[in-house]
Structure 1
Amino acid sequence: MKPCFIFGTRPEVIKVAPVYLYFKNQGENAIAVATAQHREMMDMMLQVFDMEPDYDLNVMTHNQSLNSIVARVMERLEPVLLKESPDIIFVQGDTTTAFTAALCGFHLSIPVAHIEAGLRSGDLYDPFPEELNRRLIDVASKYLFTPTKRAKENLLKEGIEEKRIFVVGNSVVDALEYVKSKIDMNSYRERLVALDDYILLTLHRRENIGEKMRSVLRGIAQFIDEVDLRVVFPVHKNPRVREIVNQEVGNNPRFILIEPVDYLQFLSLLDGARFVVTDSGGVQEEAPSFGKFVVVARQTTERPELIEAGFGLLSGTSQESIYKALIEASQNRLCISENPFGDGKTSERIYKITRGEGI
C-alpha cells in the first residue's frame, strides 16, 4: 500500500501523526505532504512527532484568504499526487487543507479516507468555514473514520452508506498517549509558569474574533477578579486576536499572557490547570484525557459527547453567560473517568480497515 497523508495545520499534525507513524512502523510506503497552511505552528508539531514531510507545498502567505489557500493547495498538490500515484489519501478534520486535498483526490479518482468524519454543529456558518468543509469532505470520501457512535449517526442521517462508515475513536488520544510516554509534565510546566492554581484559556476561532471575543474576555476578567484566580493564556499569532487581547486584558495582572506554546508545553499547562476555557475543537477532545472540565466559549459544538459525558458545558460568548459558566465550572467535580473520545487504538483500527482486515 502507498498511502498519502496530507496536513497543513497544528491540529491536523496532532491527529494525523500517530496514524502516519503506525503505517510507517508496519512497513508501509507512507508519504507525508505538508501544505503549511499555518507554517510556524505546523512546524512546531512536526518536531514533536519527529516527522519530516516528503513534500512541503509552502502555501502560507501574509493575510491569506480562504480562497487563496484553496487555489494554492490545489495547484501545488495535484502534481505531487500525479507523480506519486498513491493508493489512498488521508485527510483529517475540517481545515481548508483537508477540504482541498479531498477535492483534489476526488478529481483524480484517488480514494479519500477522512479521519474524524461525521462531526456536525448543525449550523453551516458556525464554525466557519469548518462546518461546510467537513460535510464536503465526508461526501467525497470512501472511508469515513468517525471518532464516536454519534458521529456515525450524523452520517447515516445524511444518507451516507453504512459500509463506508467505521467507528474507530479519535486519534488525538493516540497522540496523547505518545506524548505522555515521553515527557515529564511538571518539569515542562514549571518552565512556563510558576503557578499551582490557574485557568487555562485559548481563543482564536474566526467567528469569535471581534465583539464576541471581547465579551468572553470581559466575562473571564469579571470572574477572576472575584475569586482571586490567574488565567494562563497562550495568545494566538493572529494580529486581530492580539489586538483585542491587548486592549481588553493586556494590563490585567491576573492574565498571564504568553507566546504560543508547542504541543508538549500546552499539554503540560492543561495537565496543571483547574479547568479550561476554549473555543478550540481539539482542546475539547484533549481535556478529558487529563480529567479537566471544559467551558466551551462558542454558540455550538460539534463534539456534544463532551457535554453529555459531563466533561464540559457550552457557555455561549456573552459576558454574562461566560461569567455564569465559570462559576459552574469552578464548582464542578467530575464523577466519571471514561474518555468519550477513545482508547488510544484508533491508528491500529484505521490501518486494519484500510488493509481489509476489519476492526
Structure 2
Amino acid sequence: GLMRSTLNAIRKHPLLKIELIVTGTHFSKKFGYTVNEIIKDGFKIHKVKILDVKDELSMLKSFSEGVVRISKVLKKINPDILLIEGDRYEALSATIGGAFLGIPIAHVSGGDVSGSIDDSIRHSITKFADIHFPGTDKSAERVIKMGEDPKNVFMVGTPGIERSRLGKKQIIKKFGDPAILVVQHSVTTEIPEAGFQMRETMRAVSELGMDTIVVYPNSDPGSKHVIKEIEKYKNNKNIKVYKNIPRDYFLGLMDNVSVMVGNSSAGITEAPLFNLPVVNIGSRQKGRERAHNIYDVGHDHKKIIAIIRKILDRKEKKSSSPYSGEGTPEKIAEILSKVKLK
C-alpha cells in the first residue's frame, strides 16, 4: 500500500532493520487476503488476526483485541522504534500498546484533517508519538500547535505519491482501457446512509455507460452496505469489480483513466501527480488540503453524472498540489537511522 516504498527504503538502509506487524483486513478473503502481497515482497512479518469489522461494536471489540494482541508481539520483538502510519483504528491499537511498553513511536502523516472520526484517531496517535513525519507544511504546523517539540517534527512529504512501475500496455492487458475509477468508502458518522450513498454513485457510472473499474471499500462499519450495492453491478458489461488491486496496478490505473470518482484519500493526495480529475463525493474528505483537480459533489447521481460529463468535455489543466512524495521514503529512513532516542 501507501507505505511500501518507505518500508523498502528502511529495509535497504545499512543501519536499519525492519519487521512488520500485519493485522486487520490483510487476512480477510473478502478483501483479497492481501497479506500474500506482503509475504511476496519478502518482509519478516508477525501475524496478528483480529475480528472482522461489521458495525460500531465489532470495531470497538476489534480495537481492544488489537491492543492486547499487538502488545504481546511488541513485547516479544522489543523494537527500538515503532513506526505508525495514518489514522486507522488498528494503528491506534498498536500505538497504545507501544506507548505503554515504553517504545518510542514515529508517526507518519500526522496533522492531517479530514473532518471525521479519523481526525480524533490521528491526533491521538500524534500525542503518543515521539517523532513526527507530517506530509504538508500545514500538517506540520498543526502537530507543533498540539504541543509537539518542533525539533522532532520532520516535514518529509506524503508516502505513496509515486508513479507506477508498470507501463500502459500492462495496465490495458489486465483491465482493458477504462475511463472511470471508483473507490468509495463508508463514512463512520454516516453508516445508515452508506448503502444509499454507494447506490447513487453506482447508478451514475452505470447510466454513463463508460468502462469503469470499481474497487471494494475499506473494512469499516457500513462497508457491507457499500459492497452490497457494488455487487449488484458485477454482471454489468461496462463495470468490473475488484476486491483489491495491487499498488503498482492501482497507480497505473490512476495514470490511465480519465476521471476518478468516490471519496478515497488517494483522489486527494495521489491523483494530482497524474493530473487526474477527481469527483469527490460527500463529506469524508471535507477537511483535506486539496489541489484544483478536485470537484466536490453530494450524493446525487444526476449531479455526479453532470460533473463527470463536464470534466470529460474539457481537457484538465495541470494544477499544483500541497502534497509531494519526492524522496519521502529515503528521508524517513535516514531520519530514523539518526534520531536520538530517549
More displaced 10-residue stretch of structure 1: 250-259 or 336-345 = 250-259
Kindly tell me: are residues 357 and 234 of structure 1, through their superposed partners in 2, closer, same or farther at Cα, counting changes over 3 Å? closer
* Counterpart check, 1:16 vs 2:16: no
* Counterpart check, 1:101 vs 2:86: no
Q: How many residues get paired?
A: 328
* Counterpart check, 1:280 vs 2:252: no
Taking every aligned residue pair, what percent have the same amino acid on both sides?
A: 20
Kindly tell me: are residues 326 and 310 of structure 1, through their superposed partners in 2, closer, same or farther at Cα, counting changes over 3 Å? same
The CA deviation at 1:132 is 1.8
* Counterpart check, 1:262 vs 2:246: yes
Matches within 5 A, 1:139-288: 139-173=127-161, 176-177=162-163, 179-180=164-165, 183-193=166-176, 195=177, 198-207=179-188, 211-215=193-197, 217-218=199-200, 221-222=203-204, 225=207, 229-236=210-217, 238-247=223-232, 249=233, 253-288=237-272
From 52, 70, 73, the counterpart of 2:63: 70
Say whether the 8 Å CA contact 1:145–1:167 is kept in structure 2: yes
Secondary structure of 2:160's counterpart equals: helix
Could you say what the CA RMSD is over the residues aligned between the two structures, in angstroms?
3.0
Say whether the 8 Å CA contact 2:110–2:134 is kept in structure 1: yes
Structure 2 match to 1:305? 289
| Residue ranges of structure 2 left out of the alignment (5+ in a row) | none
Secondary structure of 1:81's counterpart equals: helix
Secondary structure of 1:277's counterpart equals: strand
Say whether the 8 Å CA contact 1:201–1:277 is kept in structure 2: yes
Kindly tell me: are residues 344 and 256 of structure 1, through their superposed partners in 2, closer, same or farther at Cα, counting changes over 3 Å? same
- Which deviations, in whole Å up to 9, do the C-alpha atoms of 1:322-348 show, x marking residues without a partner? 344334433454433655321431122
From 119, 123, 132, the counterpart of 1:135: 123
Letter of the 1:354 counterpart: L
Kindly tell me: are residues 284 and 41 of structure 1, through their superposed partners in 2, closer, same or farther at Cα, counting changes over 3 Å? farther
Say whether the 8 Å CA contact 2:184–2:198 is kept in structure 1: no
Letter of the 2:141 counterpart: E
Matches within 5 A, 1:302-341: 304-306=288-290, 309-331=291-313, 333-336=315-318, 338-341=320-323
Taking the aligned partners of 1:310 and 1:327, their CA distance within structure 2 comes to 17
TM-score (norm 1): 0.79
Structure 2 match to 1:46? 38
Secondary structure of 2:270's counterpart equals: helix
* Counterpart check, 1:113 vs 2:124: no
Taking the aligned partners of 2:243 and 2:90, their CA distance within structure 1 comes to 25
Letter of the 2:285 counterpart: T
Letter of the 1:147 counterpart: G
Kindly tell me: are residues 216 and 63 of structure 1, through their superposed partners in 2, closer, same or farther at Cα, counting changes over 3 Å? closer
Kindly tell me: are residues 276 and 82 of structure 1, through their superposed partners in 2, closer, same or farther at Cα, counting changes over 3 Å? same
Kindly tell me: are residues 331 and 136 of structure 1, through their superposed partners in 2, closer, same or farther at Cα, counting changes over 3 Å? farther
Kindly tell me: are residues 217 and 199 of structure 1, through their superposed partners in 2, closer, same or farther at Cα, counting changes over 3 Å? farther
The CA deviation at 1:151 is 1.1
Point out which structure has higher relative CO (alpha carbons under 8 A, 6+ apart). Answer: 2
Taking the aligned partners of 2:119 and 2:286, their CA distance within structure 1 comes to 9
Secondary structure of 1:154's counterpart equals: helix
The CA deviation at 1:155 is 2.4
Taking the aligned partners of 2:300 and 2:20, their CA distance within structure 1 comes to 41
Say whether the 8 Å CA contact 1:15–1:92 is kept in structure 2: no
From 274, 283, 308, the counterpart of 1:290: 274
Say whether the 8 Å CA contact 1:57–1:76 is kept in structure 2: yes
The CA deviation at 1:302 is 6.2
